Structure 1
Amino acid sequence: MAKNKTQETDKSVYQFLDEFINDEAKREDSKILINLMSEVSGYDAKMWGPSIVGFGSYHYVYESGREGDAPIIAFSPRKAAFSLYVFRGNKEESTLLPRLGKFKMEKGCIYVKKVADIDLNILSEILKDTIKLTLEQYTYLTDII
């Protein structure tokens, strides 16, 4: 079975921002997201793969037998927009989305061009819901909150 490409690394999150994020505004927005996600989750930011900043971790096993570890919540400062890996699709989160602000969404991933486009209080609630849902769904977390 293939090994999951996106794994936690020892690379410094701030070194990643300094080396790979040339846009100062995107770097500052990344720091805002790091502070918010760390505060809400209780975890320090860790690099997952070359470009994902994650918080906490859980172990998943799919019906197919594929398994691996993933961050509980995460984001990636991509060139076009931030990818926020924070939405699990439950009812509570769905009612919050209309109040989040300006974003796009595909496959449970929220895309935001800049942090100023969204309400951080609403994002905080979505983060809490995502963490709660993950904890409920994956009782064998590698790192319990």
Structure 2
Amino acid sequence: MSRSVVPQDVRDVVAAVDPPGRRRDAGTLLDLMMRVTGEPPVLHGTIVGFGQYHDEYASGRSGDAPAAGFAPRRASSVVYLMDGIDAHAAEVERLGPHRRGVGCLYLTNLEKVDLDVLERIVADAYRTLTAGTYGSRARDGQA
């Protein structure tokens, strides 16, 4: 997918990322997620999202959210894995330098990360989330 399909608002967000290394990483994540998902990026506040998934919980809560996404923050690039980090534990161990939350990877320098591993993680999460209605949250474990 070419950069020409990137909406202007997404291009503006990526172009404004500071410092320059984080801007470079945002461009890399933009390309990676467009390639993996086959979806154009859509801005959700400060999150760049790709595709969508529908979730429903026992509580009755339901909704739609990006199936893949990242946020270029000053301190690190945040990659959202809504099926949870634990669903990708083996791959995450091979990723390279990172910090993690329940459903987020915090990456401070993509030049030190194995991008093939990151691509597999994003692709696996995207497949899981778009396979049907997802009924779990990252903090609850796998669906």
| TM band (smaller chain) | 0.7 to 0.9
Q: Residues 40 and 128 of structure 1 are in contact (CA less than 8 Å); yes or no, is this contact kept in structure 2? A: yes
Give 1:86 shift.
2.5
Aligned-partner Cα distance in 2 for 1:65–1:58: 16
Structure 2: runs of 5 or more not aligned? 1-6, 135-143
In structure 2, relative to structure 1, the CA distance for the partners of 1:96 and 1:17 (3 Å cut) is: same
What amino acid maps onto 2:13 in structure 1? F
Q: Residues 87 and 93 of structure 1 are in contact (CA less than 8 Å); yes or no, is this contact kept in structure 2? A: no
Give 1:62 shift.
2.4
1:123 aligns with 2:124: no
TM-score (norm 1): 0.78
TM-score (norm 2): 0.79
Q: CA RMSD in A?
A: 2.1
Identity of aligned residues (%): 32
In structure 2, the partner of 1:3 is none
Using the TM superposition, name which of 38-47 and 65-74 deviates more. 65-74
Aligned-partner Cα distance in 1 for 2:109–2:85: 25
Aligned-partner Cα distance in 1 for 2:72–2:86: 27
Q: Residues 54 and 73 of structure 1 are in contact (CA less than 8 Å); yes or no, is this contact kept in structure 2? A: yes
Q: Residues 53 and 64 of structure 2 are in contact (CA less than 8 Å); yes or no, is this contact kept in structure 1? A: yes
Give 1:64 shift.
2.1
Structure 1: runs of 5 or more not aligned? 1-9, 140-145
2:35 aligns with one of 39, 48, 66? 39
Give 1:106 shift.
1.0
What amino acid maps onto 1:46 in structure 2? V
Using the TM superposition, name which of 108-117 and 29-38 deviates more. 108-117
Give 1:46 shift.
1.1
1:14 aligns with 2:11: yes
**Count of matched residue positions in the alignment of Structure 1 and Structure 2:** 128
